[in-house]
Amino acid sequence: MSGIDPFALAAAGLMAFGLYGFCVCRHPLRRLLAINLVGNGVFLALILIARRLPDGPDPVPHAMVLTGIVIAVSATAFGLALIRRQARPEDDGND
């Protein structure tokens, strides 16, 4: 076990903290943060996985991370819009 990468531990920890947060937190904004923690853990894991080619890092997982970040941020931004709407239901327009 001596050679275990600290970042592998961090990636696993981020995913686990995120899942834990999703399960125990009730506020949707906290749940959204927890989901993003899971996402960050997955991205970190992908970057670790990319380090195995002899000539430079593997670009395929890197591309997956870049795509994943943009998807995660767009979906999170949509989630934040929903949370803002949920927090102030009284004024209703655009229905």
Partner 1 sequence: MMLLDGVLALLLLLLAGRCVTAASLLQAIVAFIVLGLLLALSWVRLQAPDLALAEAAIGAGLLGVLLLGTWRHLPASGIHHEFPWPWHGMKQAVSALGGLALAVMLALALHETAPEPAAAGETALAQLDAAGVKQPVTAVLLNFRAYDTLLEMGVLLMALIGALIVRRPLQDGSRIAPATLLSPSLARLFLPPILLIGLYLVWAGAYSPGGAFQGGAVLAGAGVMLALTGLLRGASVDGLWLRGLLALGAIVFTTAGVLLVPVTGHFMAYPDGLVTPLMVLIEFSLAISIALSLLLLFTGTPGLARSRP
Partner 2 sequence: MTEALPVLLVFVPFLAGLGQFVLGRAVPWSQQFVSGFNLLLVLLLLRAVAGGEPVIADLGGWGEPLAIHLQADGLATLMLLLTAVLAVAISLYAIPAFGGHARSAWQFWTLWPLLLGSLNALFLSRDLFNIYVTLELVTLAAIPLVLLAGPRKTVDAALRYLLFALLGSLIYLAGVALLYAQAGTLDLALLPAATPTGSLAGPLAAALIITGILIKGAILPFHIWLPAAHGGAPAAVSAILSALVVKAAIYLLLRLWTGALEPLVSIAAGQLLGLLGASAVLFGSWQAFRQSRLKLVVAYSTVAQLGYMLLFFPMAVTAAWQGAVYHGLAHGVAKAALFLAAGNLLYYLGQDRLEALRGIDRPLAVSLLAFGLAGVSIMGLPPSGGFTAKWLLLTASLQTGQWWWTAALVAGGLLAAGYIFRVLRLAFLQSAEPAERRDGPVPGRLMAWTATALALLAIGLGLISAPLLDLLGDIPGGGS
* Contacts with partner 2, residue ranges (CB under 8 A): 15, 19, 22, 28, 31-32, 35, 38-39, 41-42, 45-46, 49, 60-61, 64, 67-68, 71-72, 74-76, 78-79, 82-83, 85-86, 89, 92, 94-95
Q: 24, 7 in Cβ contact below 8 A?
A: no
Range 87-95, long-range pairs (CB < 8 A, 24+ positions): none
Q: Kindly state the tokens that stand for 67.
A: 């795509």
Q: Is 35 in the site for partner 1 (CB under 8 A)?
A: no
Q: Is 45 in the site for partner 1 (CB under 8 A)?
A: yes
What residues have CB less than 8 Å from 25, skipping those under 6 apart? 31, 34
Q: How far is the CB of 71 from partner 2 (least distance, A)?
A: 5
